[in-house]
Chain A
Amino acid sequence: MTAGQAIATKDLTLSYGDTIIINELDLEIPKGEITVFIGGNGCGKSTLLRSIARLLKPKSGAVLLEGEAIARLSTKDVARKMAILPQSPSAPEGLTVLQLVKQGRYPYQTWLKQWSTEDELKVRNALKATGMEELRDRTVDSLSGGQRQRAWIAMTLAQDTDTILLDEPTTYLDMTHQIEILDLLFELNEKEKRTIVMVLHDLNLACRYAHNIVAIKEQKVFAQGKPEHVINCGLVKNVFGMECEVTIDPLFGTPLCIPYGKGRCILKGQGFQG
């Protein structure tokens, strides 16, 4: 069903000092799909994403990008195939959107060739795809949270890679802008068949946008597959340690997780008694 794998890990072990974060992980991430990593705080999903992006050296094992070990490729070659947007990046004061997005062309530039026709085209396309054309001369620090995140996504798009990794791209955004960013990524996947791998905290949004969910728990992948196949109350209880009801999203038909807990219950008679 899938056209092969974009990324794979082989016996991947990650650690901070002596603390093992991910242990001997074999994972395959399908090409041309949206994959979302989920898991509780500190489960290692961001660490795994960073290691796939070669920002963190594995203790042992390897990350394969289109079948080749990432450690053996030159870092610029990797940068032409895979882009990473880390969590809450920050731009220096006074940098304009255009100047930021232009940095995405770094892997294609030399010191004399810093603005080729191709650079110009890719930057323009990236600004267009993210709806940032009008804002290109504004400084990044003067933008709203949602616009700022779109500017950073435009930078990763300018990198012109088949695969884009994003670490919690919706953090600190209000609901409108969360949807706006995820819609943008969904469209990029639909139209251009880019492989998107991201960490998301919101399980329901993960279910809506992901083709493939990877649930991480205790240094391992607990489950992987289509959200409608893997997300159920048992998984949520196991991975997040939370009691919930999983029902069906009335708009999209994807799994919808409703947590138990305290709160005001205004249903008469049949309500949940926490």
Chain B
Amino acid sequence: MKKYYNFRLLGDRVSFLVNRKALITFLLLAAAAAGVFIISTGTGEMKISPLKVVQVFLGGGSDMDRLVIQSFRLPRIIVALMVGMALAAAGGILQGIIRNPLASPDIIGITGGASVAVVAFLAFFSDKNNALTVSINWMPLAAFAGAAILAFLVYFLAYKNGVSPVRLVLIGIGLASLMKALTTLMMVFGPIYQASQANIWITGTVYGSNWDNVAILVPWTLVFLVLAFVLARNVNIQELGDDIALGVGSTVQKYRFLLLMVSTALIGGAVAFGGGIGFVGLMAPHMARRLVGSAFGALLPASALIGGILVMAADLIGRTLFSPLEIPAGVFTASIGAPYFIYLLFKTRNA
């Protein structure tokens, strides 16, 4: 059986080498994501069969089904999917450009920056009765700004005739610890109510997502995912080290900056609407690597789908397992992801 397909159009102007196994895995993952999406949409206080869910997607179904699905469940599930995809893709990019398997949005401090911004937002815009003085709708913006500022800070502080991966990760870890300390400090000094609200945010939840969120997050995430895909071959070359990348004529620093910005945008969008969901950004790329190998053109989409599946599943469990109690999705991403990850490691240890 052929392992690769040559994909060529317009006399080589559009040409790709497609790995058969990666393509099949990608299709299977896409099917799995669609499956989880449909099951999640049908599950909750009111059960709706998958068939009826699909009917509603196609514009049919009963009024009641439509109401439940369209008004209550869909926005949240779509946000979960986008958040998972964005974090996983960003984690993959970071691991590639930093050349370190431990790199992830939380480790280099970008998520931490968002946490500080959110806790500060809750602290500064609350009155004596713990009611917010401004709309809660501004919170995503605060989270996004926190993530973006921190990413620039990491880049700026790591800069010395360009940015080396080691400096980037060390400065990132330093700032991440500082952000953690700041977050704790503000939570300790703030009122209990705020602390618990902040804590839910830090754990990560897509509770309360609405169509307005979807309208922002979907185009934002998709645009940057496509951009990341376009830049994939630059991740591939950076993974071989700066010397090799420079040797084959890549403008390493330019692409490192661009890729860092793309991952920051993805993370910023994700934390703005999903909070500090952990594990996905770190582990989804590793799972994808075990399934499709490390060529980034295959790894990125596979990783994104795994991330989407993880967060959707975690949210499904979080809102159904202890219903009517809502558990933040961030609690479950690790508990459902880790066993599978360990299984993959175990299975591929001799491969």
Contacts and interface: CB of A to CB of B under 8 A. Distances in A.
B244 A89 contact: yes
Given A92-B294, A115-B7, A84 B243 contact: yes
**Could you tell me the dominant secondary structure of chain A's interface residues?**
mixed
B289 A112 contact: no
A90 interface: yes
A117 B236 CA distance: 21
B323 interface: no
A112 B13 contact: yes
Interface in B172-207: none
A95 B297 CA distance: 12
A113 B14 contact: yes
Interface stretch (B76-84, B111-119, B247-255): B247-255
Contact of B289 (A94, A106, A113, A114): A94
A166 to B, nearest CB: 11
Interface string B216-251: 000000000000001101001101111110111111
Interface in B105-159: none
**Could you tell me the dominant secondary structure of chain B's interface residues?**
mixed
Nearest to A158: B248
A253 interface: no
Interface string B291-320: 001110100000000000000000000000
B16 A107 contact: no
Contacts of A92: 96, 99, 239-240, 294
A249 B248 CA distance: 38
A201 B297 CA distance: 39
A103 B289 contact: no
A100 to B, nearest CB: 8
A115 B250 CA distance: 17
B6 interface: yes
Interface residues of B, number: 37
A50 B243 CA distance: 9
Interface string B8-46: 100011111100000000000000000000000000000
A223 B282 CA distance: 53
A94 B293 contact: yes
B3 interface: yes
Contacts of A99: 236, 293-295
B17 A115 contact: yes
Interface residues of A, number: 45
A35 interface: no
Contacts of A95: 239, 293-295
Given A116-B15, A137-B3, A91 B249 contact: no
B247 A83 contact: yes
B230 A115 contact: no
A194 interface: no
Contact of A113 (B13, B230, B237, B290): B13
Contacts of A91: 239-240
A106 B237 contact: yes
Nearest to B4: A98
B239 to A, nearest CB: 5
Contacts of B295: 95-96, 99
A145 interface: no
Interface in A74-92: 74-80, 83-86, 89-92
Contacts of A103: 236-237, 240, 244, 248
Contact of B17 (A85, A112, A114, A139): A114
Contacts of A254: none
Contacts of B233: 106, 109, 111, 114
A92 B244 CA distance: 13
Interface in B253-268: none
Contacts of A79: 247-249
Contacts of B4: 98
B13 A106 contact: no
B16 A115 contact: yes
A159 B13 contact: no
Contact of A75 (B241, B242, B249): B249
30 contacts: A53-B246, A54-B246, A55-B242, A77-B249, A78-B249, A83-B248, A84-B243, A89-B240, A89-B243, A89-B244, A92-B239, A93-B101, A94-B289, A94-B293, A95-B293, A96-B293, A103-B237, A103-B248, A106-B249, A106-B250, A113-B14, A114-B15, A114-B17, A115-B6, A115-B17, A116-B8, A116-B15, A117-B15, A120-B17, A159-B248
Interface of B: 3-4, 6-8, 12-17, 96, 99, 101, 230-231, 233, 236-237, 239-244, 246-251, 289-290, 293-295, 297
Q: What 4 A-B pairs are tightest by C-beta distance, nearest first?
A: A79-B249, A76-B249, A116-B12, A86-B243
Given A90-B240, A113-B15, 16 more contacts: A54-B246, A77-B249, A79-B248, A86-B247, A89-B241, A92-B99, A94-B294, A96-B293, A99-B294, A106-B233, A106-B237, A111-B230, A115-B6, A115-B17, A116-B12, A119-B15
